[in-house]
């Protein structure tokens, strides 16, 4: 989930580091999740953020507080794009480990590829 979310229009993109990076994604743990047209990307991103909040070790504030705050903001019918964008940037820049640094990727992908949902 931390690797990002892509729309069906990019289904043919090779799953490698160099090809995914321009799309705001990375290979991560090499897990691929396919979702249907009945699913909403925003729900998948929220589920991922709740997972990251639960899995955060709590050592650094950007991850511990950021994942929880992001999940709270993502429940809203319309996302506060500016606040979520700022929060995502702080988490990516200031978190100690890869979990906190990568946790905002689903937010960014939903905002980029599924803006009509948020």
Q: Calculate the CA 17 to chain-centre distance.
A: 17
Task: Output the CATH code of domain 8-117.
Answer: 1.20.1440.230
Rg (CA), the chain: 13
For the chain, the farthest-separated pair of C-alpha atoms sits apart, in whole angstroms, at 38
Q: Calculate the CA 90 to chain-centre distance.
A: 14
Q: Calculate the CA 111 to chain-centre distance.
A: 10
pLDDT tens digit sequence for 34-82: 788 899 999 999 999 999 999 999 999 999 999 999 999 999 999 999 9
Distance CA 29, CA 3 (A): 8
The chain-wide mean pLDDT, for the chain, equals: 92
* Spans of all domains in the chain: 8-117
Distance CA 110, CA 54 (A): 21
């Amino acid at each position: 989930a931390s690797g990002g979310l892509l729309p069906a229009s990019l289904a043919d993109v090779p799953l490698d580091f160099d090809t995914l990076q321009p799309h705001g994604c990375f290979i991560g743990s090499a897990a691929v999740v396919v979702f249907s047209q009945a699913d909403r990307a925003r729900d998948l991103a929220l589920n991922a953020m709740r997972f990251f909040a639960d899995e955060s070790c709590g050592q650094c504030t950007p991850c511990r507080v950021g994942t929880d705050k992001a999940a709270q903001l993502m429940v809203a019918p319309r996302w506060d794009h500016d606040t979520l964008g700022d929060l995502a940037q702080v988490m990516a820049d200031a978190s100690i480990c890869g979990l906190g640094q990568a946790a905002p990727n689903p937010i960014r992908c939903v905002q980029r590829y599924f803006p009509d949902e948020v």
